Amino acid sequence: MRAVLTNFGSTGDILPFVALAVELRRHGHQPVLALPPAFEPLARQHGVAFTPVGDDLRGAQDDITQALLVSPERIGAADQLQSMFAPLARGLPRMLEDLRQACASADLLVSGRVQPASRMVHDLTGIPFASIYVEHSGSGGGHPAFQEAVRQIVNPVREKAGLPPFHNPLVDGESPQLVLYAMSRHVRPPPRDWPGHHHMVGYFFMEDGALAWEPPAPLRDFLAEGAPPLFFTFGSLKHEDPDGFTDLLVTAAQRTGRRAIIQSGWSQLARRPLPPGFLAVDGMLPYAWLFPRVAAVVHHSGAGTCALAFRAGVPQVLVPHAYDQFLWADLGFARGCAPAPLPAARLTAERLGEAIREALESSRLRESAAALGERVRTEQGLLVARQHLEGLLAKVGLPTTATTTPRPGRATGGGDDWEQDEAPGARRRSALEQQRARRRDL
C-alpha cells in the first residue's frame, strides 16, 4: 500500500501522522509524509519519505494564534478573521496542487481535518481517503464567524476546481469513507449515534526508543537531586512577554515549595537565569520518558500533551490558551485528572500556585490520573488505525500489500521513495474506474 499522509498545523498536529507513517512502514507499506516544508527534518529523523506541500506558513500561524490570544474577541468578527487568514487563503491553491501531485501514484490519502486540500484531491481523483482527528472537534466547525472565515478560504478554491462549495468545510471536508479519531474512548467516550464509518481507535503514541532515552546530564542530575519536580511546558505557543510569563511560573512554583523544570521551546520561556531549584530545558523532549518522572505537568492543554499526560497517569494543571485546548482542559477536569482549568487570560501566580497545590495534594486527583493512565496504556491506537486503513483498501478492491519497485521519485527523505510500475498502475486505474461510484457510497 502506497499511502500519502498529510496534515497542517503545529508539531502537535503532525507527530501523530509521523507515528502512523512509522507503523505503516513497519508492516511493509510505503508511506510518504506530505507536509509543510518545515517538517522535512522531522520526517527524516524517523526515516520516512517526505514531500513538501505548500509554503512555509508558520509565521502566519503564529500571528493568528497570537492575535487570538491577545484579542479573543476577534473570534466574533468574521472580517477580522478573514484578514488574519489571508496568507492561508493565498497558500491553499499551491497546497492543492502539491498534494494532488503527491497522490498521483498513491493508493490511499490519509489526512487531518485541518488540511482542506485533502477532500478536494479525493473529490477530483477518487483516491480512497481517510480522515484522522487528532484534535477535539468540539461542536464541529467552531464559532459562526470562524466557520465563515474558513468558507472564504476553502470555497473559492473548490469552485475554481469545479467542485461544489461546502457550508462547513471543517466538517463537510472529512472523508465519506473512513474517519478515525486518534484519541482514547476513556477520555472522550464516542457518541452513540456516530456513523458506521467513524471509529475511535486510541492515541497514536510515538515510541521509537523514547522509554530508553538517555537524558542530558543537567536534566538527569536535576531529577536525581530530590523529590519529583513540576514540569511546565506550553508547546509551540508564543507569549507576548515571555520573561513576565516565566516569572509568573516561577512564583507559582515557589508558592508550593516545589522544584520545577521549565521547557523553553518556541515560547521562549526561561531565557534568563532561573533561581535555585529551577531548570530550563530547550528543544523537544520525549514526554513518554519524562512525564512519569515528574510530580505534575502544567501545560497549555494541547491535544498531544494531554494524551501523553493521560497515559503517564500523572496529575495535570491545565492552562488553555486557544482553539480546542479549552475542550481538552474540560475533559481533563471531568476525568478527575486535574483541578478546574485556568484560562491563560485570567492566569495569576496565586491562582496557578493554588491549582498546583491541589494537583499535588489531592489523593483523588492522583488516584484518578493513575487509573486513567492504566486504561489508556491498554489501547493500541496505531495498530487499530492501520487495520482500518488496510480494511478500507480491501473494501474498495485495491491491494493492501506493496506492489511497487522503489526508485527515485518526487518524495525525498529517509526510507525508499516509490514510483508506481506500469502494470500495477494499470491495475490501480482499472480498479479506480470500477469502484469510483461505489466508493462515494461507503
For residues 139-168, give the mean pLDDT: 86
Q: At what angle do helices 303-312 and 325-334 cross, to 10 degrees?
A: 20
Q: Are 176 and 442 in contact (CB under 8 A)?
A: yes
Give SS3 for 422: helix
Encode pLDDT of 10-21 as tens digits: 888 899 999 999
325-334, 381-390, 403-412, 424-433: segment of lowest average pLDDT: 403-412
Mean pLDDT of the chain: 86
Q: Are 355 and 248 in contact (CB under 8 A)?
A: no
Q: Note the pLDDT of residue 208.
A: 60
Asked whether residue 367 carries a pLDDT value surpassing 70, the answer given is yes
Q: Note the pLDDT of residue 75.
A: 57
Q: At what angle do helices 86-102 and 117-125 cross, to 10 degrees?
A: 40
Give SS3 for 190: coil
Q: Note the pLDDT of residue 65.
A: 65
Q: Which of 319, 314, 303 is nearest to 369 (CA)?
A: 314
The DSSP call for residue 274 is P
Asked whether residue 396 carries a pLDDT value surpassing 50, the answer given is yes
In the structure, what pLDDT confidence band is assigned to residue 131 with cuts at 50, 70 and 90? very high
CA 293 to chain centre: 24
pTM for the complete prediction? 0.85
Sheet holding 30-35, edge to edge: 198-200, 178-181, 129-133, 108-112, 2-6, 30-35, 49-52, 412-413
In the structure, what pLDDT confidence band is assigned to residue 422 with cuts at 50, 70 and 90? very low
The DSSP call for residue 434 is H
Q: Note the pLDDT of residue 72.
A: 54
Q: Note the pLDDT of residue 266.
A: 63
Residue 308 CA to residue 314 CA, distance in Å, equals 9
In the structure, what pLDDT confidence band is assigned to residue 70 with cuts at 50, 70 and 90? low
Cα distances (Å, whole numbers) of residue 85 to 67, 92, 150, 151, 154:
11, 11, 8, 11, 11
Those residues whose C-beta lies under 8 Å from the C-beta of residue 331, and which sit 6 or more positions away, are: 136, 187, 188, 306
Residue 65 CA to residue 9 CA, distance in Å, equals 11
Residue 293 CA to residue 271 CA, distance in Å, equals 24
Indicate if the alpha-carbon torsion angle 308, 311, 316, 319 is positive or negative: positive
Q: Is 148 exposed, middle or buried (0-12, 13-18, 19+ CB in 10 A)?
A: middle
Q: Note the pLDDT of residue 307.
A: 95
Q: Note the pLDDT of residue 417.
A: 47
Q: Note the pLDDT of residue 442.
A: 41
Q: Note the pLDDT of residue 9.
A: 83
Which residue type sits at 327? L
Q: Note the pLDDT of residue 398.
A: 75
Q: Note the pLDDT of residue 180.
A: 97
For residues 197-212, give the mean pLDDT: 83
Share above pLDDT 90 across residues of the chain, in percent, rounded to a whole number = 66
Sheet holding 278-281, edge to edge: 278-281, 260-263, 230-233, 296-299, 316-318
Asked whether residue 74 carries a pLDDT value surpassing 60, the answer given is no
Encode pLDDT of 226-259 as tens digits: 999 999 998 767 777 889 999 999 999 999 999 9
Buried b (16+ CB within 10 A) or exposed e, 343-372: bbeebebebbbbbbbbbbebeebbebbeeb
Report which of residues 413 and 10 the model is more confident about.
10
For residues 47-75, give the mean pLDDT: 73
Structural domains of the chain sorted by starting position, each given as residue range(s) with its CATH number in brackets: 2-203+379-440 (3.40.50.2000), 213-376 (3.40.50.2000)
Q: Note the pLDDT of residue 30.
A: 97
Encode pLDDT of 160-185 as tens digits: 999 999 999 988 999 999 999 999 99
The DSSP call for residue 31 is E
Q: Are 190 and 136 in contact (CB under 8 A)?
A: no
Q: Note the pLDDT of residue 87.
A: 85
What residues form DSSP beta bridges with 352? none
In the structure, what pLDDT confidence band is assigned to residue 211 with cuts at 50, 70 and 90? low
For residues 412-426, give the mean pLDDT: 43
